[in-house]
Amino acid sequence: MAIAKMSKLKLISFQDHKEAILKELQSLQSVELIDMSAEYAEVQAMSSGRREQLEIQSKTLEDKYNQYRDQLNFLIQYLPQPKLLQKLRTPKQALSLQELEEGVAAINQHEVLEKIEGSRKLLRENEQALGNLLEEEAFLSKWEKLNYVPFESHNLKHLTMLTGTVPQSDSDSFIRTIRDSGLFYIEEIFQTRDEYGISIVYDHTDENEARKNLDENHFSPLDYPFSQIPELELKRVAGDREKLLQENKAVKEQLKTMRNEEQALQLMIEDAYAELQRVRGQQLIVDERHLFVLEGWLEESKLADMRDILEQRLESADYAIIVDDVQEEEISRVPIVLKNSKFVAPFENITAMYSLPKYNEMDPTPFLMPFYLLFFGMMMADAGYGLLMFLATGAALKFFHMNKAMNKNILFFHLLSYPTIIWGLIYGSFFGLELPFMLLSTMDDVNTILLLSVVFGVVQILLGLGLKAYLLFRDKDVLGAISDGVGWIVIFVGLIVLIIASMVFPNAFLATIGQGIAIAGVIAILLATTLASKNKGLGFGLGLYNLYGITGYVGDIVSYTRLMALGVSGSSIALAFNMIIDFLPTPARFTVGILLFIVLHLINIGLSLLSAYVHGARLIFVEFFGKFYEGGGKALDPLRTSEEYIELKNNYNG
């Protein structure tokens, strides 16, 4: 229930063992390699030639990885995909790194890629040919009435026959010119919005005048690239298109059978990614002619696993390993691994959304978890919605096989279903229907719910201040702990006693005690701030300014009223939806009404989930974390595999 203790290891071994060691560290998936040339300015990690070689190798592997992914993405378009439920219920294949490499070695990669690329190339060429045929068809369809091949008309002895187009804007004047001149015989072939297709015949003796008239009216001769008349060419186009479509259909049917190729590509992708990570890892270590040195971060609890790896693979004389504890100057560079119980771990996502803690901070996850559960349930607050979440997430956890991150998220919402049900029972709400029993009514007890929201907020703020005081005491900053933590806790306690003695159980003596406690807190803050400053006058001024922060605490407390507002609004919306259905005639309630009930409540569930998730996190981040938590840590980024298509198995603990 804390930040995992990390160790810094340094490993020295012979070049012959480098690849094997990197593979075993990758199998462990817990070692983050340190860039030694960046860590030690005086260290020359490797020769420029060796670095260039690794960069080329890395680029080659990256290209190979992208090529495999591209081919797989193409193939998936045509493979029949399993139904979503079937896909979720099918576990990934579990392979060790060695088994993965053996599986890839058994694949004829060239044949797999050639087979898929051949089909892809043929489809691409056919699609281009179909596009060309479409253009030809559009052209020929316009000239379909043309009953001769234009270039053959040039062979007439005494007449000139031309085929072409005139812009639609000039067609009227062109027709008038023809009618007035008596030089031409014209036959209309087609008309469109933009142009006018015609066939013109005139005598050879009128060539000059005819050409002049044609040029003046922007006549464009037809460039006809076909050997047959348009009608016959259209039949040829239709036949060619049908042939290409049948060929495409056959190729796609063949692609549908390439399930083995899909699995082969998945293994190739996993293997290429793993190899790429190892090559990138080599760029971080120090390379000598016969030896290499690597440094990395590893959880202390997994040191035994790593030692077992080395003992199994190498003789003791073949390597040296040095393990150091984290030094003070390394705090900011130590990667973070959070270690919490199964039921607290899902809430690490909330912490990570804000920022992981630094190595010398505390993990706030165990402290935020109960409040997030409480707040989420109070804002969602419907037993029916909670039951639906419980059943859906419970079924997913039991019957579906998901990756670790998704499984963690599903468990997160499964845990949130419990407080949702509890608060739904407290409010007596089940899909907006009023239960026969309730502790609080969202209609009649709004003020009580508002008071509870404020009480929960004050408790969380006090915990945040208490954690702040603890951290400062831990760091031997006693005056800081008093001014930033203990003093404010005392003020809050005094004010709480004063409010209770004045408004809940009137008692003048108790009210006086509350006033005294609050004043003691004020004095403690002023004294601690003054004593902590070298300039006592300035310190006293800072203390007064610190006390001005009471306005911020008032704003924080008001923020918790959203717990009441969102809970009541969600319940009211659900109730309004049910009233709409009640207005329907009796027959409609059990037909359209059922469908309407499902749709409307699904909408309300979605809105309530989003609101509770976002505003619950906001209360944690601003009102709680703002009191004691800084963050700024970075997650461990180990040498690992992608595990996108397989689940990596090993024989190590942890």
Structure tokens at 578: 């049910």
DSSP-based helix, strand, coil % in the chain, nearest 5:
65, 10, 20
Structure tokens at 532: 């902590």
Find which of 366-370, 521-525, 529-533 is predicted with most confidence, using mean pLDDT. 366-370
Looking at residue 654, what is its pLDDT? 43
pLDDT digits (tens, 9 = 90+) for 127-140: 999 999 999 999 99
Specify whether the CB–CB gap between 199 and 186 falls below 8 A: yes
Alpha carbon distance 550, 461 (integer Å): 12
Structure tokens at 469: 């005081």
Alpha carbon distance 233, 347 (integer Å): 69
The stretch 152-158 carries a mean pLDDT of: 65
Alpha carbon distance 63, 273 (integer Å): 11
The stretch 60-71 carries a mean pLDDT of: 95
Alpha carbon distance 321, 12 (integer Å): 6
Per the listing, tokens 């008038």 go with 176
The stretch 269-298 carries a mean pLDDT of: 91
Structure tokens at 268: 């190739």
DSSP letter, residue 92? P
Alpha carbon distance 442, 38 (integer Å): 60
Alpha carbon distance 417, 372 (integer Å): 12
Question: Among positive and negative, which fits the CA dihedral 61, 63, 66, 67?
Answer: negative
The stretch 159-173 carries a mean pLDDT of: 80
Looking at residue 378, what is its pLDDT? 95
pLDDT band at 653 (very low <50, low <70, confident <90, very high): very low
Looking at residue 188, what is its pLDDT? 86
Looking at residue 170, what is its pLDDT? 64
Residue type for 559, please? S
Looking at residue 412, what is its pLDDT? 96
Structure tokens at 227: 């050997």
The stretch 78-89 carries a mean pLDDT of: 82
Looking at residue 154, what is its pLDDT? 59
Structure tokens at 92: 């990934």
pLDDT(32) > 50? yes
Alpha carbon distance 450, 443 (integer Å): 12
**Burial category of 54 from C-beta neighbours within 10 Å (exposed 0-12, middle 13-18, buried 19 and up):** middle
Looking at residue 430, what is its pLDDT? 93
Between 612 and 587, where is the model more confident? 612
Looking at residue 652, what is its pLDDT? 55
Between 311 and 273, where is the model more confident? 273
pLDDT(156) > 80? no
Please state the pTM of the whole predicted model.
0.83
Looking at residue 453, what is its pLDDT? 94
Alpha carbon distance 99, 106 (integer Å): 11
pLDDT digits (tens, 9 = 90+) for 525-541: 888 888 877 777 787 78
Residue type for 544, please? L
Looking at residue 405, what is its pLDDT? 87
The stretch 16-20 carries a mean pLDDT of: 90
Alpha carbon distance 119, 115 (integer Å): 6
Alpha carbon distance 433, 619 (integer Å): 29
Looking at residue 616, what is its pLDDT? 94
The rounded percent of the chain whose pLDDT value lies above 90 is 51
Structure tokens at 616: 């619950």
The chain-wide mean pLDDT, for the chain, equals 89
Helix (H, G, I), strand (E, B) or coil at 647: strand
Looking at residue 534, what is its pLDDT? 77
What's the length of the chain?
A: 654
The stretch 407-422 carries a mean pLDDT of: 95
The stretch 433-448 carries a mean pLDDT of: 89
Looking at residue 506, what is its pLDDT? 83
